[in-house]
Amino acid sequence: MPEEHPLIEMEREIAGGDFQRAGDVSSELKNILQRAGFPPAFNRRVVIASYEAEMNVVIHAYRGVFRARVYSDRVHVEIDDQGPGIPDLELAFQEGYSTAPPHIREMGFGAGYGLSNMKKCSDVLVIDTRVQEGTKVVMDFFLSPSNS
């Protein structure tokens, strides 16, 4: 099957530690999906997972690139960061596990739910991480006939 052309492509930089603009990229994607006419329940899944991945770059990494490709029946999202990487992925996926420092937790981050939210919301989640290099999160969301 030839690679289908995306309807919309988006590429944005994410700056580690920038809490002022954190969430803007996911917001932009939400607007794109709404305008494209996808069902709200589907958009919500994509947006929650994208937000969590975006925030993980802001909180845990130095910088990252967010790419989204929107097709007629699916959305593909990649978040590629330069950062500390994740030494133990299985541990990181446990709800409640977080290495966020106290001042970040005070802001209401670091509950340790981000990765599990991403897993619940996406249909395919692949994480490729290298300690002291960075982390790449790839997610796919398929529009199902039940429209979510």
Partner 1 sequence: MKVRIRDIVEALGALVLVAGEMERGEVSGGYCGDLLSDCIANAEEGSVWVTVQSHPNVVAVASLVGIPCIVITNNQEVQEQTLEKAREQGITILKTPLSSFEAVSALSRLGISGKKRHV
Binding site for partner 1 (CB under 8 A): 19-20, 22-24, 26-27, 30, 40, 44-45, 47-48, 51-52, 55, 107-109, 111, 113-114, 117, 120-121
Q: Which of residues 60-99 bind ligand ATP (CB under 6 A)?
A: 60-61, 81, 83-86, 92, 97-99
In 2-144, which residue ranges form alpha helices assigned H by DSSP? 24-36, 40-60, 89-93, 102-105, 114-121
* Of residues 144, 125, 121, the one with CA closest to residue 135: 125
Q: Which of 41, 111, 126, 131 binds ligand ATP (CB under 6 A)?
A: 111
Q: Which two tokens stand for residue 103?
A: 């001042």
Query: Which residues are 43's β-sheet partners?
Result: none
Cα–Cα distance measured from residue 68 to residue 31, given in angstroms and rounded to the nearest whole number: 13
Q: Which one of ligand ATP, partner 1, Mg ion, none is in contact with 92 (Cβ closer than 5 to 8 A by kind)?
A: ligand ATP
Residues near Mg ion, by CB under 5 A: 56, 114
Query: Does the footprint of ligand ATP cover residue 115 (CB under 6 A)?
Result: yes
Instruction: Tell me how far, at minimum, the Cβ of 110 lies from partner 1, in Å.
Output: 8
Cα–Cα distance measured from residue 54 to residue 114, given in angstroms and rounded to the nearest whole number: 10
Query: Does the footprint of ligand ATP cover residue 43 (CB under 6 A)?
Result: no
SS3 content of the chain, % helix, strand, coil (to 5): 35, 30, 40
Angle at 145 between CA 148 and CA 32, to 5 degrees: 50
Tell me how many residues contact ligand ATP (CB under 6 A). 24
Interacting residues toward ligand ATP by CB under 6 A: 52, 56-57, 59-61, 81, 83-86, 92, 97-100, 109-115, 135
